[in-house]
Homo-oligomer: A and B are copies of this chain.
């Protein structure tokens, strides 16, 4: 038996999320069915991050075990072939150590949250970014975001359905930058709470609009109360960009 590590890109817009569910197509199911179509094995595909419905991936990582001796490149190309027409692509496949686990071995997750900040609604970027029509001050958003860095009780940014044992997480870094009408929020941490990055984005939007200050964000964090923070930004702006091991 061989364990394989896969690096994945997908458009989350057509899935109920990473995880298999009864109510619609999942990324996990699409991959498992493609693996079965390729080699007949019913392998379980384990992902590093269980992205929600609508959330995209530029660098999700997953692993699976195959009995059949297979070259990594063959697995990559065959799974890509059988994934069609699902908008999932295996960017890379490689043989992994037998104890490698996509989720439990991961030491860092990186997310990107994309905002398009302009008066006109989205056409080409629809489903790929959060449309925010009011002008945002990206420099103020970046400055305020720095109060979130470090080890904190992030209860104010945690979804009620979050299954993490503790609300204490360590945010390694967060950067907010603007390129023309696009604002990018990039966050990295060993792991995140459910909706944490989307709740950061919803709160930083209020800073960008001039409604909240960095001190207010600090107070929101200290409140340890979800109702203290801003809205949960929509899933379609979120991308899992990389997983570190």
**Interface residues of A, Cβ cutoff 8 Å to B:** 9-11, 56, 58, 76-77, 80, 83-84, 87-92, 118-124, 126, 128
Nearest-CB residue, chain B, relative to A79: B120
Q: Are B84 and A124 in contact, with the CB atoms below 8 A?
A: no
Q: A58: which B residues are within 8 A, CB to CB?
A: 124
Nearest-CB residue, chain B, relative to A58: B124
Instruction: Give the copy number.
Output: 2
Contact A124 to B91, CB < 8 A, known contacts A76-B119, A119-B76: no
Q: Are A126 and B9 in contact, with the CB atoms below 8 A?
A: no
Q: A121: which B residues are within 8 A, CB to CB?
A: 80, 83-84, 89
Contact A91 to B76, CB < 8 A, known contacts A11-B126, A126-B11: no
Q: A118: which B residues are within 8 A, CB to CB?
A: 91
A51 to chain B, nearest CB (A): 13
Q: Are B89 and A56 in contact, with the CB atoms below 8 A?
A: no
Nearest-CB residue, chain B, relative to A13: B124
For A11, A56, A84, A92, which residue has the most chain B Cβ atoms within 10 angstroms? A11
Q: How far is the CA of A155 from the CA of B91 in the complex (A)?
A: 39
6 shortest interchain CB distances as A-B pairs: A89-B123, A89-B120, A87-B123, A9-B123, A91-B120, A10-B123
Nearest-CB residue, chain B, relative to A181: B91
Q: How far is the CA of A126 from the CA of B83 in the complex (A)?
A: 14
A75 to chain B, nearest CB (A): 12
A135 to chain B, nearest CB (A): 15
Q: Are A124 and B10 in contact, with the CB atoms below 8 A?
A: yes
Q: How far is the CA of A84 from the CA of B89 in the complex (A)?
A: 30
Q: Are B9 and A56 in contact, with the CB atoms below 8 A?
A: no
Contact of A126 among B87, B91, B92 (CB under 8 A): B87
Nearest-CB residue, chain B, relative to A87: B123
A216 to chain B, nearest CB (A): 31
Q: How far is the CA of A154 from the CA of B185 in the complex (A)?
A: 45
Contact of A124 among B9, B90, B123, B124 (CB under 8 A): B9
